[in-house]
Amino acid sequence: MRLLSPALCASPGPARRGGVTPDSSVKSPIEMWSTNSTEKFYRIPEGKGPHSVGCTDLMTENAVEGSFLRLYYPAYDATDIEEARWIPDKEYYQGLSDFLNMYRVVGERLFHYYVGSVTCPAKSNAAFKPGEKYPLLVFSHGLGAFRTIYSAICIEMASQGFIVAAVEHRDESASATYYCKRRSVSESQEESPPNMEKEWIYYRKLKTGEEERCLRHKQVQQRAQECIKALNLILRINSGEEVTNVLHSDFDWNSLKDSVDTSRIAVMGHSFGGATVIESLSKEIRFRCGIALDVWMLPVGDDIYQNSVQQPLLFINSEKFQWAENILKIKKLISNDTNKKMITIKGSVHQSFPDFTFVSGGIIARFFKLKGEIDPNEAIDISNHASLAFLQKHLSLKKDFDQWDSLVDGIGPNVIPGTNIDTSPAEPE
């Protein structure tokens, strides 16, 4: 399952915008290796809300059919607890290398050098902060991504009083993921929990002659089911049910009992994860609304457009990624529903949403198109503030997020309503 693909979190093929081209030489990453080491010292932004944030990983049994997610949550302030590692295993470097069409030996060395010491500003396994019922947000990652690399978004939401379940998909759309299986008695037990070993799953590229839409539609259906499984899992924990975490963390899952507001649940995702949001809304009415960040519409089935998404839906697009065919599909889904909105962040690129935009210096950012013309912190603030305002309205939250209501209508600095893409029919020559 070792595979190659052109662009992190972007849709492949001619419609892709802002990605690394398939014929990119590995010479450039090697040259970047020799750049000034100060390039690597960048920081994922902390949450701006009133809560400290903790995070922990949860993997259920049942091998590949089980759930795997990173939970971000309001936590007690704990200065003595270390922040979580951003990319927790070297196999993720290998998967990213495959996905970006680099030799693994080059990519792994490059990623380790630049981001191997990066942590996300959430305390690993910090004590959960009970005392109120928090709304639940399920997050779906993009193509070639995985559960940890949207931490700037997830941490901000948790700091504002959400419990966020960031799913790691096992449909072979992640750069890498794994499940735990029982090891043979003769094998080492040093790195995994006793009697368990990691079975890695890497990104699957298209086979020769395979139709992409067919594969992606099949994957998006699995992804939606994984989001619904994550929802069910968190609600089981909320009800007080004992759940086995095969990762054996120190986190006290019993502390989550009766802490989820089961009437206020939403789903959010980026790119392929945006398509997953749409599919999830169509299948699960408990998701009261959804937010699709720079959505890739190819995986969405034709049946979805026939009034199968009744819930409110916010599309937040970058300026540089979208194209006419994709926008026309978004408009078809929005139709005349005033609870479905689309806005565009000026100067942003497809990679303005994942964390790589914050941890890359100039050369790396230019090579992989990780930064747009807008400051990355301003772009993510616009996205997060619009998301919070939308969530307040449609989850009936008693917060002050309505201060950003204008952003949902595309009014404000560096944001426009609708799209910057011309979707009018071409004039005949």
pLDDT tens figures, 223-243: 999 999 999 999 999 999 999
Residue 131 has pLDDT above 80, yes or no: yes
Residue 140 has pLDDT above 60, yes or no: yes
Lowest-pLDDT range of 72-76, 209-213, 277-281, 306-310:
306-310
The model's confidence at residue 28, banded by pLDDT at 50, 70 and 90, is: very low
Report the SS3 class of residue 182. Answer: strand
The model's confidence at residue 429, banded by pLDDT at 50, 70 and 90, is: low
The model's confidence at residue 425, banded by pLDDT at 50, 70 and 90, is: confident
pLDDT tens figures, 330-343: 999 999 999 999 99
pLDDT tens figures, 71-127: 999 999 988 899 999 999 999 999 999 999 899 999 999 999 989 999 999 999 999
Asked if 159 contacts 51 with a C-beta cutoff of 8 angstroms, the reply is yes
The model's confidence at residue 67, banded by pLDDT at 50, 70 and 90, is: very high
Read out DSSP for 2-16? ----S-TTS--STT-
Residue 183: its pLDDT value, please?
Answer: 74
Active site residue 271: yes
Residue 29 vs residue 224, higher pLDDT = 224
Residue 99 vs residue 39, higher pLDDT = 99
Mean pLDDT, residues 240-262 taken together: 95
Mean pLDDT in the chain?
88
Residue 34 has pLDDT above 80, yes or no: no
Percent of the chain with pLDDT over 90: 77
Residue 184: its pLDDT value, please?
Answer: 67
Residue 18 has pLDDT above 90, yes or no: no
Residue 50 has pLDDT above 50, yes or no: yes
The model's confidence at residue 248, banded by pLDDT at 50, 70 and 90, is: confident
Phi, psi values for residue 68, rounded to 5°:
-140, 125
Residue 29: its pLDDT value, please?
Answer: 40
Options 171, 294, 355, 381, the catalytic residue: 294
Asked if 384 contacts 153 with a C-beta cutoff of 8 angstroms, the reply is yes
Lowest-pLDDT range of 64-73, 180-189, 365-374:
180-189
Question: Which tokens belong to 247?
Answer: 């990762």
Residue 4: its pLDDT value, please?
Answer: 28
pTM: 0.89
Mean pLDDT, residues 184-206 taken together: 74
Beta bridge partner(s), residue 57: 70
Options 271, 282, 318, 348, the catalytic residue: 271
Options 350, 352, 355, 387, the catalytic residue: 350
Question: Which residues touch 349 (CB under 8 Å, ≥6 apart)?
Answer: 18, 318, 319, 320, 321, 369, 370, 371, 372
The span from the first CA to the last CA of the chain, in angstroms, equals 47
Residue 194: its pLDDT value, please?
Answer: 61
CA distance 216 to 5: 14
The model's confidence at residue 19, banded by pLDDT at 50, 70 and 90, is: very low
Residue 186: its pLDDT value, please?
Answer: 56
Residues in the chain: 429
pLDDT tens figures, 151-193: 999 999 999 999 999 999 999 999 999 999 877 665 545 555 5
Residue 306: its pLDDT value, please?
Answer: 87
Residue 414: its pLDDT value, please?
Answer: 98
Active site residue 80: no
Residue 63: its pLDDT value, please?
Answer: 78
